[in-house]
Structure 1
Amino acid sequence: MESTQTHYPRQKICGIWLIIVGISMFTLLNGGYKLPVLFAILYAVGMLFQLNPITRKRLSVGPGTDSQKKWSNISLIVLVVLCSVSGIISDGNIQKVWLFILLSVGIHFFFFIPVHGKLMGLLGIASTLNVLFELSVNEYPLNVFFAVDGMIKLVFGILLVSLSPIDF
């Protein structure tokens, strides 16, 4: 019997994580971004789900490679650094803080391409363009921005769950 190994063994977990985060984005609507307690709770639940060894074993189609682990770590370091800078360059404006944090998230998705495939690059493009559009058009309501961001994450999460494992 021939053994097959997928290039991206944790796409399903990543997809479920994106679905959870996509749903959590909707908690930021109508001023929820000012006190994001529900967002933080859902985000934490998603992190616990994603990093749980039982979940990883059950939903992965194999182990990640050393290179994928390295890229995962690089991506998270980039995210932390960029989010830290976001607080500095936003001048204390809570709306800009959110925009720059989500720009950081969009950028960090590109570093996950070797880990989860090219769909992460498309996710990075969609997320980054959404933020850049919001930053360039001041009349674009923040509620619309959060809803679009949530939908982007939901769509890509559903794609990763339904297509996993796919070597794209």
Structure 2
Amino acid sequence: MKEILEFNHKKQCGLWLILIGIVLIVAVICGGEFFVNPFVFLIGYYACFFGVNVNKKVREKLSQGDISKKQIKIIYFSIATLFILMFCIAGPFIPGWHWRQIWLGVLMATSIHFFLWFFVHGWSMVVLGIVCMVIVTMGYIFPGIPVSVICIADVMVKLICGIYLLFIAKPSKYIPNMIK
């Protein structure tokens, strides 16, 4: 990428991460045989998605500047990539209803897709992706760790990052070396 990237929507991302963290906690509490209740999670996910990311008033209130057309394309690409990754990583375990593998796959796909969000929100997304990947990897390596513990650790990281982005982070820029 040869253009200067401006990261002006950190507050929106922060609110999204906080709300998704809360939804995941409620889904874990209601988990039952699913470990994480998929119905609670999906209803909460889409309610938050439309409430934060589609709601124009919320976006405008939290925005601290413009977003480029390339960044908008990356947003759509990242969302599509998330679902493709979930299909590839978690999908093979759906026919056998292996809920542990399904949820670890969903969390890993989410962790990987955060790297694409660097182009929209900056370096905090790379850090978030790395930390979340490490947490999920621990779930794969140590099958004795309950999925609920992995999810709560994942939630804590998302909440910390979300609070940082919503309340502390300032708009920033990334200037590639070839422009400097």
TM-score, normalised relative to structure 2: 0.83
Q: Which amino acid counterpart does residue 109 of structure 1 have in structure 2?
A: F
Q: Any conservation in 1 of the 2:132–2:157 contact (CA below 8 Å)?
A: yes
Instruction: Give distance in 2, aligned partners of 1:122 and 1:30.
Output: 27
Aligned counterpart in structure 2 of residue 76 of structure 1, from 66, 75, 79: 79
Q: Any conservation in 2 of the 1:13–1:161 contact (CA below 8 Å)?
A: yes
TM-score, normalised relative to structure 1: 0.89
Q: CA deviation at 1:30?
A: 4.9
Q: CA deviation at 1:143?
A: 1.4
Q: Secondary structure in 1 aligned to 2:6?
A: coil
Q: Any conservation in 2 of the 1:29–1:143 contact (CA below 8 Å)?
A: yes
CA-based RMSD of the aligned residues comes to 1.8
1:150 maps to 155
2:26 maps to 27
What does residue range 13-162 of structure 1 map to in structure 2 within 5 Å? 13-30=12-29, 32=31, 34=34, 35-49=37-51, 50-90=53-93, 91-162=96-167
Percentage identity across paired residues of the two chains: 29
Q: CA deviation at 1:159?
A: 0.6
User: Aligned residues, how many?
Assistant: 163
Instruction: Give distance in 2, aligned partners of 1:107 and 1:128.
Output: 7
Q: Which moved more, 1:157-166 or 1:132-141?
A: 157-166
Q: Which amino acid counterpart does residue 129 of structure 2 have in structure 1?
A: G
Q: CA deviation at 1:31?
A: 5.8
Q: Secondary structure in 2 aligned to 1:64?
A: coil
Instruction: Give distance in 2, aligned partners of 1:88 and 1:162.
Output: 36
